[in-house]
Amino acid sequence: MTVDPALLNAWTRLLDLCKLTKEEHVVLLTGAASSSLHIDAAQLALALRGASYLTLEPGAAPAVAVAGESTAHYGPSAIANNRLAQQTLKGADLIVDLMGMYRGAEQDEILAAGCRIILVKEPPDVMMRLMTNADDKRRVLAANSVLSRAHRMHVRSDAGTDLHVTLGQYPTLVQYGYADEPGRWDHCPSAFIARWPDEGSANGVVVLDSGDTILPFKDYVRTPIRLEIRDGFVRRIEGGLDARYLRDYIASFNDPDGYAVSHLGWGLHDRATWTALGMYDKRQTNAMDARSYYGNFMFSTGPNAEAGGSRHTPCHLDIPMSSCSIWVDDEPMVDHGNVVPANQRVAGFAGHTTEDLS
Ligand SMILES: [Fe+2]
């Protein structure tokens, strides 16, 4: 085993952020797609601190996603029908998830047992580059303090987006990249805030402009796509090639819930970039740069079971968009891609967009 010292440091840092103590027990959950670099570095970091841990690799997942892209099939994972694995995981204080547990079913019980879970799916270089810190957490929690109490969200863009939703039925999704409290799930690295809208409340238009990104396609939109949204569902998808691709992709699931509006929010990670997605082969990244970059608007479609809703559809799209403006209860959160509230802004950070070079 040869472990990159920088990656070992990153894992040590992550375990510190997750407040792992000497008395606690850790399960390292792995799957066929887990990075061996991560497995080796995580095991060494755990061993060096004298942690009590075991590595658990359940069998194959019940469904295979297109092209083996796990995010292209949002459904039960390899532990869904594996009671032994579930019981083992419930006994842990911290689960380091290198496999990718399905959020919304088997994971709920494990979290309810007081376990904390940190998911790591990005490759080592992304983990090291985007590792979050206490200031990222502070800004995400500042955003959460507004969004978790809110009743309405409104999103606009010069490209034509004009979307209204009401809030209150479902909780927020608070991601700051580490799991430091009992019952907390998080995904390293990430920094964004989001919330699922009330059932049937999303109305308006979302225009995906050229340069916006669609995940799991892991690609940039080239030809604008107009989504007509009524009573919580996408009712019409219009445009050129990209619209056709999106329309046929959702249709391939043959599931009406695939058209539902899912979590909505904004990115707060100043080291994540809009451009990074273009630098990786699709299988190299989980696209956290796109999901987290500072001032994005993340529109999404599909399930809400993770939030307590009834939609379990495997068709889930995260769609980070640039240059949008977001209001929460009429208070501006993002203005044309720039984060507005002082307590969510990064000191001295002007943003990554260079639309105005004057
Ligand atoms: Fe999502």
Q: Tens place of pLDDT for every residue, the chain, 358 residues? A: 799 999 999 999 999 999 999 999 999 999 988 999 999 999 999 999 999 999 999 987 777 777 777 777 877 788 888 999 999 999 999 999 999 987 767 788 899 999 999 999 999 999 999 999 999 999 999 999 999 999 999 999 999 999 999 999 999 999 999 999 999 999 999 999 999 999 999 999 999 999 999 999 999 999 999 999 999 999 999 999 999 999 999 999 999 999 999 999 999 999 999 999 999 999 889 999 999 999 999 999 999 998 999 999 999 999 999 999 999 999 999 999 999 999 999 988 877 665 655 5
H or E segment and range at residue 115: none
Rounded to the nearest whole angstrom, what is the distance from the C-alpha of residue 92 to the centroid of ligand 1?
Answer: 26
Instruction: Indicate the SS3 state at residue 117.
Output: strand
Rounded to the nearest whole angstrom, what is the distance from the C-alpha of residue 303 to the centroid of ligand 1?
Answer: 9
Cα separation, 144 vs 231, whole angstroms: 25
Rounded to the nearest whole angstrom, what is the distance from the C-alpha of residue 263 to the centroid of ligand 1?
Answer: 7
Instruction: Indicate the SS3 state at residue 325.
Output: strand
Taking the CB of residue 267, how many other CB atoms lie within 10 A of it? 30
> What distances in angstroms separate CA 305 from CA 6, 35, 249, one per listed residue?
37, 28, 21
Give residue 33's pLDDT: 87
Rounded to the nearest whole angstrom, what is the distance from the C-alpha of residue 207 to the centroid of ligand 1?
Answer: 19
Cα separation, 84 vs 90, whole angstroms: 10
Q: Which part of the chain is CATH 3.40.50.2300?
A: 5-121
* 3-state DSSP percent of the chain in helix, strand and coil, to 5: 30, 25, 45
Give residue 347's pLDDT: 84
Rounded to the nearest whole angstrom, what is the distance from the C-alpha of residue 63 to the centroid of ligand 1?
Answer: 19
Cα separation, 209 vs 103, whole angstroms: 29
Residue type, 86: Q
Rg from Cα positions in the chain: 20
* CA-closest candidate to residue 122, choices 170, 182, 190, 74: 190
Rounded to the nearest whole angstrom, what is the distance from the C-alpha of residue 300 to the centroid of ligand 1?
Answer: 6
* CA-closest candidate to residue 290, choices 346, 352, 356: 352
Rounded to the nearest whole angstrom, what is the distance from the C-alpha of residue 115 to the centroid of ligand 1?
Answer: 22
Rounded to the nearest whole angstrom, what is the distance from the C-alpha of residue 301 to the centroid of ligand 1?
Answer: 8
Rounded to the nearest whole angstrom, what is the distance from the C-alpha of residue 341 to the centroid of ligand 1?
Answer: 24
Give residue 282's pLDDT: 92
Q: What is the pTM of this model?
A: 0.95
Rounded to the nearest whole angstrom, what is the distance from the C-alpha of residue 174 to the centroid of ligand 1?
Answer: 12
In CATH terms, 5-121 corresponds, of 3.40.50.300, 3.40.640.10, 3.40.50.2300, 3.40.390.30, to: 3.40.50.2300
Question: 219, exposed or middle or buried, with CB in 10 Å at 0-12, 13-18, 19+?
Answer: middle
Rounded to the nearest whole angstrom, what is the distance from the C-alpha of residue 10 to the centroid of ligand 1?
Answer: 25
Q: List beta partners, residue 321.
A: 297
H or E segment and range at residue 73: none
Rounded to the nearest whole angstrom, what is the distance from the C-alpha of residue 53 to the centroid of ligand 1?
Answer: 30
Taking the CB of residue 98, how many other CB atoms lie within 10 A of it? 22
* CA-closest candidate to residue 202, choices 81, 301, 323, 119: 301
Cα separation, 261 vs 234, whole angstroms: 7
Query: Do the beta carbons of residue 204 and residue 216 sit within 8 Å?
Result: no
Rounded to the nearest whole angstrom, what is the distance from the C-alpha of residue 262 to the centroid of ligand 1?
Answer: 8
Residue type, 300: S
Tokens of 110: 């494990």
Instruction: Indicate the SS3 state at residue 183.
Output: coil
The length of the chain, given as a count of residues: 358
